[in-house]
Amino acid sequence: MKLHIGFDDTDSLKGGCTTYLASCLIELLYKLKFVRFLDYPNLVRLNPNIPWKTRGNGAVCLRLEIPEWAYLEVRERVVGFVERSFRGEAETNPGIVFLKGDVSEQVKGFSFEALWRVVSLSRALRLIRVVGGEAYGFNNCRGIIGALAACGETLEDDYTFEVIAYRTRRFWGKPRKIDPESVLRMDRETYPQTFNNLDPETGRILIMPRGPDPVLFGVRGETVEAVLKALKMVSVDEPIERWTVFRTNHGTDNHLRCRCRVAEVKPHMAVVVEGWVSKPPKTIPGRHVIFSVSDGTGEIFCAAYEPTGELRKVVKGLVVGDRVRVYGGLRKAKPRTPKTINLEKIEVLELTRKVELKNPLCPRCGKRMVSMGKGKGFRCEKCGFRDSKAKKVEVEVPRSLKEGLYLPPPRSHRHLTKPIQRYGMEKHGWNFEEPKVFWGRSLADLPF
């Protein structure tokens, strides 16, 4: 019998993390002789614009083959395990979902929506009932939404892998000591099969989180072999408690699949909107750049915030009339700010002609003339020619901005942001191969 176990929101603010819990749970299940893993653990990032999300809004699904008689035992073990690790903390709202058999189209559809909009708990619960699944929730039970969505995102279109190395408990909360040279070397030797190891602009190491969570570092890449090679190459000054390879939607733009008209966009959605620049870019306090886009159904503000770095330069080069496609999350209107698309990337589709009004050229000697006062015409300073009827003329200004796709630097990418080098490397289709090696307690377990 196929069994999909989804869980979400098991990470507390004090530490802990859904993927760590998954990794421990994998070990527990792996030791049960009757459990067979049908896929790598799936780590699914959901709509990043949900304000009540946990840090990365990531949920996990384990896909197993078990004998039917073992269902109750597996369920009890999983629920008990989550319950014990969560210890009733008030800030977390864990949810666990069990689905038997193949994942239905309805559940897949639910996940599709959970990636770019707000979905309700009551809808999740209704659907679980309809498909004959079971759900367990704690506190406000919101984790059930993500748990179901993780079950439904079977990662059959584009996907990537991430290997995560975890710290032993006594190091949790302490600064991480990673040899930066080893990360540079790993990046050089595994690129482009791994991605977002470093930020090229600042040299910052991106594989290492900063919080108190048990994650020591994580490397993202195209294949299991690539991320395991990277895992071996990174040298750290502390023991690795365990490691796990997840199949994920990281770096796939999985959330940016919904083309919307301006009139349809709602708060917290991740949207793609095509239109014309209708208000010129303007730098606002905090060094953010805003402009407006209109598509005939309405006009909406777009913002390139300070952390988007060079993307702001691109945005500053836009002029009214340029045709663009903007991608990003919708920030709700607040009393002093209108609703705004928080730019994650932009495609400049068509540049308009940029014209400036300039003084006319002297018909006699070709020099640009100077004004003799408003409405009084122009005169030439070089040869003395005067023309009281001359008017300013339109002059086309060359555009420095080029048509094309622009992304922020890797340091401000979201988990889901597709890095520029992955364009053209997308995978399509997954044949549900049984994973060979995907977790271990030490690097000695590594097959390569």
CB of 420: closest distance to Zn ion in angstroms?
Answer: 51
Closest CA to 128 of 164, 100, 157: 100
Nearer to Zn ion, 223 or 388 (CB): 388
**Using CB under 5 A, which of the segments 83-91, 199-207, 312-320, 360-368 binds Zn ion?**
360-368
Given candidates 1, 130, 333, 383, which one binds Zn ion under the rule CB under 5 A?
Answer: 383
Nearer to Zn ion, 301 or 385 (CB): 385
**Using CB under 5 A, which of the segments 84-92, 352-360, 379-387, 418-426 binds Zn ion?**
379-387
Given candidates 46, 205, 311, 380, which one binds Zn ion under the rule CB under 5 A?
Answer: 380
Count CA atoms within 13 Å of residue 210 on its CB side. Answer: 3
Strand 240-248 to strand 42-45: parallel, antiparallel, or no bridges (unpaired)? parallel
Nearer to Zn ion, 118 or 361 (CB): 361
**Using CB under 5 A, which of the segments 173-181, 182-190, 338-346, 383-391 binds Zn ion?**
383-391
Q: Tell me: does residue 365 bind Zn ion (CB under 5 A).
A: yes
CB of 379: closest distance to Zn ion in angstroms?
Answer: 9
Q: Is 369 helix (H, G, I), strand (E, B) or coil?
A: coil
Q: Tell me: does residue 370 bind Zn ion (CB under 5 A).
A: no
Count CA atoms within 13 Å of residue 119 on its CB side. Answer: 24
Q: Tell me: does residue 362 bind Zn ion (CB under 5 A).
A: yes
**Hunting for tokens 């039917």 — which residue is that?**
68
Nearer to Zn ion, 226 or 380 (CB): 380
Q: How far is CA 71 from CA 40, 97, 112, 137, in A?
A: 20, 13, 28, 19
Nearer to Zn ion, 172 or 378 (CB): 378
Q: Tell me: does residue 364 bind Zn ion (CB under 5 A).
A: yes
**Using CB under 5 A, which of the segments 243-251, 257-265, 382-390, 423-431 binds Zn ion?**
382-390
Contact 106, 112 (CB under 8 A): no
Q: How far is CA 51 from CA 87, 118, 260, 404, in A?
A: 24, 10, 21, 31
Given candidates 71, 301, 385, 430, which one binds Zn ion under the rule CB under 5 A?
Answer: 385
Nearer to Zn ion, 188 or 364 (CB): 364
> Looking at residue 51, what DSSP letter applies?
T
Nearer to Zn ion, 183 or 380 (CB): 380
Under the phi-then-psi rule, with left for phi > 0, alpha for psi from -120 to 50, and beta for the rest, what region is 286? left
Residues 6 or more apart whose Cβ sits within 8 Å of residue 448: 225, 228, 229, 232
**Using CB under 5 A, which of the segments 2-10, 45-53, 107-115, 377-385 binds Zn ion?**
377-385
CB of 383: closest distance to Zn ion in angstroms?
Answer: 3
**Using CB under 5 A, which of the segments 127-135, 284-292, 326-334, 384-392 binds Zn ion?**
384-392
Q: Tell me: does residue 390 bind Zn ion (CB under 5 A).
A: no
**Hunting for tokens 């073990």 — which residue is that?**
77
Beta strands in 42-94 (DSSP E): 42-45, 58-65
> Looking at residue 361, what DSSP letter applies?
B
Q: Tell me: does residue 301 bind Zn ion (CB under 5 A).
A: no
CB of 394: closest distance to Zn ion in angstroms?
Answer: 21
Count of beta carbons in the 10 Å neighbourhood of residue 442: 11
Which residues contact Zn ion (rule: CB under 5 A)? 362, 364-365, 380, 382-383, 385
